[in-house]
């Protein structure tokens, strides 16, 4: 009888060891799967970042060529003035280099022809702020719009941010910052805050970052 009592007391250990082994194997399997998933995600993210950096560098190169060409033409004796955009005769285009040092060094002065209903600030790739030259050009081009606002209380200024791949959250944040920078310039130039409406155009996909300022009616 004593021998029977001893044999029945140690039977649970094999089952406990098997259960613990299965738990450890399952945990190791989960860790291996997570490690593979993280490695794959890191590779995909690195490829996307590399492609985006290359695209930004290409856009910056194109922007520098566009800016340098008019400056070189101006230095020539008897050079012709910059060509005005005739596709939209009511639009004023303002080049914005931003206050970022790397971009401001390569930007030329903005050439502005006042328009009555619509003006657009074309930001250099990576620029988020309005530099001094662009602010001065904006002040000159804004006079007709301010006159229209003074004539009609039903009008307002719509500040609309545009940009490439605007559906991406990172580009939306940059567009919002540019729109707020233009709004602050409008406030500094005497436009009342309740006459300004700021938004991001989620449907339009522009080839380069820009902010449009146009007249609209209050809802």
Residue with tokens 């082994």: 21
Q: What does the block give as tokens for 210?
A: 């820009």
Domain definitions of the chain by residue range: 11-83, 91-217
pLDDT for 102 equals 45
Report which of 155, 164, 170 is spatially closest to residue 215, judged by C-alpha positions: 155
Q: Residues of the chain whose pLDDT is less than 50?
A: 1-6, 67-68, 70-71, 74-75, 79-89, 101-116
Give the model confidence (pLDDT) of 71-127 as tens digits. 455 445 554 444 444 444 456 677 776 665 444 444 433 344 444 467 888 898 888
In CATH, the architecture of 91-217 is: 2-Layer Sandwich (3.30)
> What pTM did the predictor assign?
0.49
Sign of the alpha-carbon torsion through 19, 22, 24, 30: negative
130 in Cβ contact with 89 (< 8 Å): no
pLDDT for 110 equals 39
């Amino acid at each position: 009888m004593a021998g029977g009592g001893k044999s029945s007391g140690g039977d649970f250990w094999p089952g406990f060891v098997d259960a613990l082994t299965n738990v450890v194997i399952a945990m190791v399997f989960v860790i291996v799967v997570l490690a593979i998933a993280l490695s794959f995600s890191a590779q995909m993210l690195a490829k996307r970042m590399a492609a985006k950096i290359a695209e930004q560098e290409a856009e910056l190169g194109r922007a520098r060529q566009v800016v340098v060409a008019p400056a070189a033409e101006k230095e020539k004796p008897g050079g012709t003035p910059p060509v005005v955009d005739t596709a939209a005769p009511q639009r004023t285009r303002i080049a914005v280099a931003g206050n970022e040092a790397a971009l401001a060094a390569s930007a030329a002065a903005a050439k502005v022809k006042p328009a009555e209903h619509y003006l657009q600030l074309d930001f250099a790739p990576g620029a988020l702020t309005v530099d001094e030259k662009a602010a001065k050009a904006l002040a000159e081009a804004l006079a007709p719009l301010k006159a229209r606002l003074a004539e009609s209380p039903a009008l307002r200024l719509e500040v609309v941010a545009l940009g490439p791949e605007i559906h991406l959250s990172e580009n939306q944040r940059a567009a919002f910052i540019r729109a707020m920078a233009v709004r602050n310039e409008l406030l500094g130039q005497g436009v009342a805050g309740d006459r300004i409406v700021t938004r991001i155009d989620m449907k339009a996909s522009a080839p380069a970052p820009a902010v449009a300022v146009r007249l609209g009616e209050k809802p």
